[in-house]
């Protein structure tokens, strides 16, 4: 039997459906790979082995009865630990929720289970999704599978690392300001932030409710498209008031040529001083690869993009302060013992339960929403949001998708970003997409000449044009493969043959 690291999600589902191997065998292979690789990667906070094998056995029973199997039949999947799944804990990588058992299952998780996926565990993250390196997790740091001295990105670093290390073929993350796309870039996998509202947020612990979106990681674009089909297959979720209906035909036109597609290039970003030389060179090659397939490059501008970080770090902390106010040690979460008053209990519970970055963002949000401060910061930030949204509208009148950097550099070393402002700048090229609610996807385009670490290009498209965005992403993936820059489905070399063999 082949190594599980060499199988795509589509190949696994096909093999299980045809009887080439069983879902239980696949689940065990994934669990074996996790056991072999976790000491170095530490992508997971919880491994749900018993649950995975039980659900895989049900998939095999359905096949034995000739009952229909889903599009993800037997595919091992990992979920970021801010997504509820009955039978697991949902900790958000925080002491505040260290012992919190999921009381229900999130819609996005349930839809993958309905498609036949096997849940193998919950992945590490920055605490409550506050961060860009997975270093703010209260439990342990996750390492980049390409170089374990470097970060995997964040806040969905555990999900990206689990896919890059070959532990699972697909995983879910959440993206509030780049938390899927930046770790996808750092770990050399495909990561997609769908348009706001396409994937239900019900059952996902909120950070910024007007910015959050759930999306998939995979080692190739087709696996991401397959997962997107499962995520939207149930239609609009009535449990999420922002949910929108979208057709599930992400695979239908994936291989269609992109001849005539207009790809917008923002010259000022391609020449931005924050970009490293190796990232700039790789992006130029990505543009050439799309041009070679018939796409037409068009110069466009996003005039207010530089203001996106300032607007985000007003809107995001304000919404985080509102969303995290519920964690007071009364109904759920950590409760400090031996407190004489409710006020003392709340203060002590929050002081112990939250880490430094979570406290920093909540305090900032409390300040920004205070009387006399709100008008000076929050209202102007919302005005900037409108300007950024209008910039995208104007740009997409001239092009079909945008191509821009995913991150200014390749993955940095642990401890290298010493200040919060340095870390916040990691989201320079991703935040504006969340502010406008558009779709974005990162595609690996090679390894840096100096760092030998993965580099990705980010494609952004108009809201609810996610199908077109993935078609261009597949064309870029195909072009980079033809150029010999990146092979789709690649696992970090050190982990490509370690564990996870189907027996």
Q: Euclidean distance between the first and final Cα of the chain, in Å?
A: 6
- pTM reported for the whole predicted model: 0.96
What pLDDT does residue 365 have? 97
What pLDDT does residue 498 have? 53
What pLDDT does residue 501 have? 44
Q: Are 420 and 360 in contact (CB under 8 A)?
A: yes
Q: How confident is the model at residue 494 (pLDDT cuts 50, 70, 90)?
A: low
Q: Are strands 170-175 and 76-80 parallel, antiparallel or unpaired?
A: parallel
Q: How confident is the model at residue 496 (pLDDT cuts 50, 70, 90)?
A: low
**Alpha-carbon distance 213 to 196, whole Å?**
6
Q: How confident is the model at residue 429 (pLDDT cuts 50, 70, 90)?
A: very high
Percent helix, strand, coil in the chain (nearest 5)? 40, 15, 45
What pLDDT does residue 503 have? 34
What pLDDT does residue 16 have? 97
What pLDDT does residue 502 have? 43
What pLDDT does residue 2 have? 45
What pLDDT does residue 422 have? 79
The chain-wide mean pLDDT, for the chain, equals: 94
| For residue 499, pLDDT beyond 60 | no
**Alpha-carbon distance 445 to 285, whole Å?**
8
Q: How confident is the model at residue 417 (pLDDT cuts 50, 70, 90)?
A: confident
Catalytic residues: 80, 155, 179
Higher pLDDT, 479 or 5: 479
What pLDDT does residue 424 have? 80
What pLDDT does residue 483 have? 82
Quote the percentage of the chain above a pLDDT of 70. 98
Q: How confident is the model at residue 419 (pLDDT cuts 50, 70, 90)?
A: confident
| For residue 114, pLDDT beyond 70 | yes
Over range 128-141, report the average pLDDT.
96
| For residue 283, pLDDT beyond 60 | yes
Specify the CATH superfamily of domain 4-301+394-494. Answer: Amidase signature (AS) domain (3.90.1300.10)
Higher pLDDT, 1 or 437: 437
Over range 453-476, report the average pLDDT.
97
**Alpha-carbon distance 296 to 15, whole Å?**
39
- The three-point CA angle 458-227-155 to 5° equals 50
Q: How confident is the model at residue 5 (pLDDT cuts 50, 70, 90)?
A: confident
- Residue 459 has φ and ψ, to the nearest 5°, of -110, 135
**pLDDT of 204-226, one tens digit each?**
999 999 999 999 999 999 999 99
**pLDDT of 324-380, one tens digit each?**
999 988 888 999 999 999 999 999 999 999 999 999 999 999 999 999 899 999 999
For the chain, the residue count is: 503
**Alpha-carbon distance 254 to 227, whole Å?**
13
**Alpha-carbon distance 155 to 62, whole Å?**
37
Structure token pair of residue 147: 């170089």
User: Tokens 């919190």 identify what position?
Assistant: 100
**Alpha-carbon distance 172 to 194, whole Å?**
12
Which one, of 70, 113, 69, lies nearest residue 88 by Cα?
A: 113
Type and span of the H or E element at 190? strand 190-193
């Amino acid at each position: 039997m082949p190594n599980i690291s060499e199988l795509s999600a589509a190949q696994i589902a096909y093999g299980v459906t045809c009887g080439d191997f069983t879902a239980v065998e696949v689940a065990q292979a994934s669990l074996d790979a996790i056991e072999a690789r976790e000491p170095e990667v530490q992508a997971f906070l919880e491994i749900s082995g018993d649950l995975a094998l039980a659900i895989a056995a049900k998939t095999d029973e359905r096949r034995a009865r000739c009952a229909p199997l889903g599009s993800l039949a037997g595919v091992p999947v990992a979920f970021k630990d801010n997504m509820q799944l009955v039978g697991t804990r949902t900790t958000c990588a925080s002491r505040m929720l260290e012992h919190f058992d999921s009381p229900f299952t999130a819609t996005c998780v349930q839809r993958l289970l309905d498609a036949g996926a096997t849940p193998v565990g919950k992945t590490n993250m920055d605490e409550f999704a506050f961060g860009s390196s997975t270093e703010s997790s209260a439990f342990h740091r996750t390492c980049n599978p390409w170089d374990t001295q470097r970060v995997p990105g964040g806040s969905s670093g555990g999900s990206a690392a689990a896919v890059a290390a070959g532990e699972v073929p697909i995983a879910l993350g959440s993206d509030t300001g780049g938390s899927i796309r930046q770790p996808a870039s750092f770990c050399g996998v495909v990561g997609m932030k769908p348009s706001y509202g396409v994937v239900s947020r019900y059952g996902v612990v909120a950070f910024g409710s007007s910015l959050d979106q759930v999306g998939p990681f995979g080692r190739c674009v087709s696996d991401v498209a397959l997962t997107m089909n499962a995520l939207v297959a149930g239609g609009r979720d009535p449990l999420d008031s922002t949910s929108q209906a979208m057709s599930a035909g992400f695979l239908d036109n994936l291989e269609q040529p992109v001849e005539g597609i207009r790809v917008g290039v923002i010259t000022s970003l391609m020449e931005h001083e924050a970009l490293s030389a190796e990232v700039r060179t790789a992006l130029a090659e990505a543009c050439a690869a799309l041009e070679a397939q018939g796409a037409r490059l068009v110069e466009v501008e996003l005039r207010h993009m530089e203001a996106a970080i300032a607007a985000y770090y007003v809107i995001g902390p304000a919404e985080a302060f509102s969303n995290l106010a519920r964690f007071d040690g009364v109904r759920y979460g950590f409760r400090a013992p031996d407190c004489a008053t409710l006020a003392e209990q709340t203060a002590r519970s929050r002081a112990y339960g939250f880490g430094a970055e979570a406290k920093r963002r909540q305090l900032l949000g409390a300040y920004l929403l205070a009387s006399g401060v709100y008008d000076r910061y929050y209202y102007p930030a919302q005005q900037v949001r409108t300007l950024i949204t209008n910039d995208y509208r104007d740009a997409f009148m001239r092009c079909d998708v945008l191509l821009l950097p995913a991150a200014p550099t390749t993955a940095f070393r642990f401890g290298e970003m010493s200040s919060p402002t340095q870390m916040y700048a990691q989201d320079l090229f991703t935040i504006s997409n969340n502010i406008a609610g558009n779709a974005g996807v990162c595609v690996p385009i090679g390894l840096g000449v100096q760092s030998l670490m993965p580099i990705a290009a980010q494609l952004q498209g108009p809201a609810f044009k996610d199908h077109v965005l993935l078609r261009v992403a597949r064309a870029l993936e195909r072009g980079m493969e033809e150029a010999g820059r990146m092979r789709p489905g690649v696992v970090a070399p050190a982990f490509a043959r370690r564990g996870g063999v189907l027996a």
